[in-house]
Amino acid sequence: MALRSVSRKSLSLGLAVGQVRGLQSFSLPELPYDYGALEPVISGEIMQLHHLKHHQTYITNYNKALEQLDEALAKADSSSIVQLQSAIKFNGGGHINHSIFWKNLTPVREGGGEPPKASLGWAIDTQFGSLEVLIQRFNAEGVALQGSGWVWLALDKELKKLSVQTTANQDPLVTKGSALVPLFGIDVWEHAYYLQYKNVKADYLKNIWKVINWKYASEVYEKEIP
């Protein structure tokens, strides 16, 4: 069921989970670095708003929706159960995506921006030609994305292939394919860059590569393809 698979996925990502009357209640994961640590690529103001306000709101609304789902399940109220799905997908997706995102970034002094090596680096070179080509593809998709969404470097764990995917709003990557595992994602919602880059999304995308945590991406890759 959608509910169980979502919470299992969240648990496997090592998120903080509290127990309330047997119902899973999610909480805001800690940022692995200071708010200002990603300057000047992403300002401290944006990081703080993004983490403390936006991500927290997704979690609050996610918990609320899950509570309502719990009640609806208890009453076998099908129409409520179905009606809650969009709120769960949106807010739950927001929680999943942002939890991954914080790990996809890391300060320069901790290796942010260092190109991938080993098996991931090799896979990128084989499948895209070079890291530069991948970055170009990624940025093109990001700029072309209308409205709000995410751009992902995805690994199809069954076909063992990398690809660049986009999802709309807060749809998690699995909505594009159940075998897809996110190696990293870039948030292209306006709240992710507006205060600093204004409407020049292209500049945000150009600069964010300086703080991408390729080490984490490699770890995820090597776990799926040992």
Partner 1 sequence: MGSCCYIPSPSSSHLLATDFFSWGFKSSKLPFLPMLPNFLSTHCKQQNRRFDRSQRASKICGYYGLRTPPYKLDALEPYMSLKTLEMHWGGHHRNYVEGLNKQLEKNDILYGFTMDELVKVTYNNGNPLPEFNNAAQVWNHDFFWESMQPGGGDMPKLGVLQQIEKDFGSFTNFREKFVEAALTLFGSGWVWLVLKKEERRLAVIKTSNSTCPLVWDDIPIISLDMWEHAYYPDYKNDKGKYVNVFMNHLVSWNVAMARMARAEAFVNLGEPKIPIA
* Site for partner 1, rule CB under 8 A: 49, 53-54, 57, 86, 90, 146-149, 168-170, 189-191, 194-195, 198-199
Whether the Cβ atoms of residue 178 and residue 150 lie closer than 8 Å to each other:
no
* Nearer CB in complex with partner 1: 91/213: 91
To partner 1, the closest distance from the beta carbon of 55 in angstroms equals 11
Tokens of 153: 């470097």
* Nearer CB in complex with partner 1: 93/116: 93
Closest CA to 30 of 107, 94, 108, 102: 102
To partner 1, the closest distance from the beta carbon of 139 in angstroms equals 17
To partner 1, the closest distance from the beta carbon of 169 in angstroms equals 4
* Nearer CB in complex with partner 1: 27/48: 48
Tokens of 61: 């609304």
To partner 1, the closest distance from the beta carbon of 170 in angstroms equals 7
- Strand duo 149-156 + 17-20: pairing: unpaired
To partner 1, the closest distance from the beta carbon of 59 in angstroms equals 14
* Nearer CB in complex with partner 1: 159/200: 200
* Nearer CB in complex with partner 1: 206/215: 206
To partner 1, the closest distance from the beta carbon of 57 in angstroms equals 7
* Nearer CB in complex with partner 1: 25/148: 148
